[in-house]
Amino acid sequence: MRKEFDDTVIPMPNDPLERFEALLASGKDSPLLRFSLGMQYLNAADPARAVEHLRAAVAQDAGYSAAWKLLGKALADSGQAAEAMVAYRSGIAAAEKKGDKQVAKEMNVFLRRLEKANPPG
């Protein structure tokens, strides 16, 4: 017995940002999708929108060290140095827990730069 398939093609936009937003709107939310959206918004010079999606990525997967790293960058790029430092610290902890030594080292460098540029007090 042969099954009939719906051959309707849903057009996907060519622009990656629009394509990812369409996937999100269709209910396909995931940490990777949110990370991809955050990266695309950073590339589009919209760090505030990037922060929104990257926060969702780490809320869904607190061990996603690459998302923490990009969240720190997005927060720093949007002028939120204190929050960026918190994100980097969380990311370092997540990376160390998973054994992602290189990612932890990179975030430590970014964290030290922010701490140097924004001393407490």
CATH number for the domain that contains residue 69:
1.25.40.10
pLDDT digits (tens, 9 = 90+) for 17-40: 889 999 999 899 999 999 999 999
Residue 72's contacts (CB-CB under 8 Å, 6 or more residues apart) are 84, 85, 87, 88, 91, 107, 110, 111
Query: Could you tell me if residue 65 is inside a domain?
Result: yes
Bigger pLDDT: 5 or 84? 84
The residue range of the domain holding 111 is: 16-117
Query: Could you tell me if residue 71 is inside a domain?
Result: yes
* pLDDT exceeds cutoff 90 at 75: yes
Question: What is the tally of structural domains in the chain?
Answer: 1
pTM of the predicted model, to two decimals?
Answer: 0.86
Query: Could you tell me if residue 10 is inside a domain?
Result: no
Query: Could you tell me if residue 94 is inside a domain?
Result: yes
Is there a contact between 25 and 13 (Cβ–Cβ < 8 Å)? Answer: no
Average pLDDT over residues 34-58: 97
Residue 8's contacts (CB-CB under 8 Å, 6 or more residues apart) are none
